Structure 1
Amino acid sequence: MSGDPVNFSDAFSLNEDYFGSGNSSDYVLDDNALLCSLQEVRTFSGLFVPIAYSLICIFGLLGNVLVVVTFAFYKKAKSMTDVYLLNMAVADILFVLTLPFWAVSHATGTWLFSNATCKLMKGIYAVNFNCGMLLLTCVSTDRYIAIVQATKSFRLRSRALAHRRAICLVVWGASVLISSWTFMFSQKYSVQGGAVCEPRFQAVSDPVRWKLLMLGLQLLFGFFVPLVFMIFCYMFIVRTLVQAQNSKRHKAIRVIIAVVLVFLACQIPHNMVLLVTAAQLGRTDRSCQSARLLAYSKNVTEVLAFLHCCLNPVLYAFIGQKFRSYFLKIVKDLWCLQRKQKASGFSCSRLHSETFTSRQNSETVDNENASSFTM
């Protein structure tokens, strides 16, 4: 902590320019109105965040691309859950593609790209993150209708499937609308000898109020709405499955519990940090220790929240028996293409014929409301 007094209004303005994405100012005000160095936090961020983002990008891209390929070439989406899973995979792919830009920004300590790229990356990140959460809510609702409202599920879900394009457009449109402020306020600007890509509210009359509003929207639609829907839907789903005389109900309950616990484990820490951040906006009585702790927490919990996009393919697709069978067909076809020169008495055309026959038999057994994961 520096021992030289600084101009209070200038230091406060500097600190309040930073908002979101885990990037924090090098200095914040302590309770004595002196500058408190956060350089050690920046050093930690420059090492930890690029590595974490790179791993999330690689595994998230691989898992979600496999989901898209499986749906596109091997399994026709036959229920709204399948449609939501496909859209969620696309949203996660777009989301993880923004992570290399933020990894470079954390590694270099400055935003090296243009202002247009800043707005685009911030906007894509916000749109797809919100879209993923809304689609997660839609999956929970569809599972609730299919299991709890079983007598009405065929009519309701058939009608929804017939209007799947309109429903998906509404979800994506709502995500764009919720994220529109990110496109408006995000910009590249210089500070402390470098450049940052952050929402900036200097043009508005009350920046702190705007920041609180934006944080509130992010918490509402990015966490609390999905959480309420998931708790409501899965609570009734579990009760229905427990009461049902079904030999597979225990496995289905384990899947549901895993879905809820992973969601909570990934999202609660980051959103609690956001709540603390919102509560401290505009305060000038923060100590150096609390400021450093909050900065560390932002970096770590944000990485944990982003990890959820890697786990979605596992939780909603690969854990399902039917989806896993189609994924194994992809592996077999790839193996066949590599070995077709050496194969003896076994051709790729035969494998494709067997795959097609197996798919037809599987789809004949499945009903129209079948889902791609075990429930």
Structure 2
Amino acid sequence: MDGFSIAMAILYLIICILGLAGNSLVIVAILKLDKMASATTVYIFNLALADGLFMVSLPFVAIQNFKNRWEFGDLLCKLVMVLDGINQFTSVFCLTVMSIDRYMALVDPLRFSSWRTPARAKIVSAILWLFSLIPVLPMALHFSAHGGLCTVDPELGSYSQRLGFLTYTFVLGFALPFMVITASYTTLLITLRSQRLRSARSPIHASQHLERQVTKMVVAVVLVFGVCWLPFYAFNFCSLYHTNLVQNFTQGFEFVVLLSYSWSCANPILYACLSETFRRYFANLLCPNKRSLTVHCNVDTEQYDMNDTSGCDISVLA
């Protein structure tokens, strides 16, 4: 047992605890304080649920990496990989839909109001969960406890099949969502700036504040998503062409796997840092005796709060 293995075990534990705690806090906040009153919080709830469940498989992966062998049998190997894939893709799909939802909410909330009801958001979320089954079904066939490790069986399928599997999971799980997220937020920023320059009615400082808020959100979401997932897919593509890469860079592979899991615990942190609404939610849950939550509805609030689209102005009173 070397220092790297101990350090990685500690990091896995930290990521798992933070991910479960943070996403559980988001889920409780939405169910208790917001009650999924808006389309946005429906998507955030499903994102937090997928991220939280994504953490469940982390201890199995950590134990395998720590002991360099899989000790839970072939059936559990397939089950863990399938559940891991479902939650991974659902999380990415939810974030992608949220980027489109943000565009509709901030650019023209009245025009898209009929599309952004909680009922429709729940239907879309259910479709996302079902759709995530498509890219992970091959995992039940091609993942097994082969050679003492839970991994893709190298004897199953040809090189072209493995390349095809990796390519379509990369496209569905990273490339396409990344393009949609980037395009949605870039268009949103351009539209907001154009509206600010054309409009003489709204105060300039309010428009600039909203633009700065959205810019921070865009940079944070896109950067965190890219940093956490691109190395994982890049390493897998490299290992496909260089068969000894995994053996030669085992430590690097463990790190990029950990980095991909860390994305699921980063999302609640982004809510806390970028959303005044969720900061108030969290404060109300963590310090119930010091703060009370009062809700005053206002149909225009949505235009000034990028994460609270329920149409309510949420005030925390000391």
The counterpart of 1:198, out of the listed 140, 151, 154, is 151
The counterpart of 1:146, out of the listed 102, 105, 111, is 105
Residue in structure 1 matched with residue 179 of structure 2 by the alignment: 228
Residue in structure 1 matched with residue 258 of structure 2 by the alignment: 303
Residue in structure 2 matched with residue 263 of structure 1 by the alignment: 225
Residue in structure 1 matched with residue 316 of structure 2 by the alignment: none
The answer to whether the 8 Å contact 2:43/2:121 transfers is no
Residue in structure 2 matched with residue 254 of structure 1 by the alignment: 216
Which consecutive unaligned segments of at least 5 residues does structure 2 have?
Answer: 197-203, 310-318
Residue in structure 2 matched with residue 241 of structure 1 by the alignment: 192
Residue in structure 2 matched with residue 168 of structure 1 by the alignment: 125
User: How far, CA to CA, are the matches of 2:12 and 2:298 in structure 1?
Assistant: 42
The counterpart of 1:80, out of the listed 28, 31, 39, is 39
Task: Give how far 1:71 is off.
Answer: 0.5
Residues 1:128 and 2:87 aligned together: yes
The answer to whether the 8 Å contact 1:67/1:317 transfers is no
* Secondary structure at the counterpart of residue 34 of structure 2: coil
The answer to whether the 8 Å contact 2:29/2:282 transfers is yes
Q: TM-score, normalised on structure 2?
A: 0.84
The counterpart of 1:114, out of the listed 53, 56, 73, is 73
Residues 1:94 and 1:126: Cα distance change in structure 2 (over 3 Å): same
Residue in structure 2 matched with residue 273 of structure 1 by the alignment: 235
User: How far, CA to CA, are the matches of 1:69 and 1:374 in structure 2?
Assistant: 16
* Secondary structure at the counterpart of residue 55 of structure 1: helix
User: How far, CA to CA, are the matches of 1:56 and 1:90 in structure 2?
Assistant: 16
The counterpart of 2:167, out of the listed 216, 227, 232, is 216
Task: Give how far 1:45 is off.
Answer: 6.5
The answer to whether the 8 Å contact 1:317/1:373 transfers is no
* Secondary structure at the counterpart of residue 35 of structure 2: coil
User: How far, CA to CA, are the matches of 1:49 and 1:222 in structure 2?
Assistant: 25
Moved >4 Å (runs of 4+): 42-45, 290-294, 366-372
Residue in structure 2 matched with residue 360 of structure 1 by the alignment: 295
Residues 1:211 and 1:167: Cα distance change in structure 2 (over 3 Å): same
User: How far, CA to CA, are the matches of 2:214 and 2:234 in structure 1?
Assistant: 30
Task: Give how far 1:115 is off.
Answer: 2.1
1:43-74 deviation digits (Å, cap 9, x = unpaired): 67743432222111011111000000101111
Amino acid at match of 1:365: N
Residues 1:265 and 1:374: Cα distance change in structure 2 (over 3 Å): farther
Q: TM-score, normalised on structure 1?
A: 0.72
Task: Give how far 1:241 is off.
Answer: 2.4
The answer to whether the 8 Å contact 1:157/1:369 transfers is no
1:321-343 deviation digits (Å, cap 9, x = unpaired): 1121121111222xx4xxxxxxx
Which consecutive unaligned segments of at least 5 residues does structure 1 have?
Answer: 1-41, 337-350
How do 1:20-59 residues align onto structure 2 when only pairs under 5 Å count? 46-59=5-18
The answer to whether the 8 Å contact 2:271/2:278 transfers is no
Task: Give how far 1:296 is off.
Answer: 3.5
The answer to whether the 8 Å contact 1:51/1:103 transfers is no
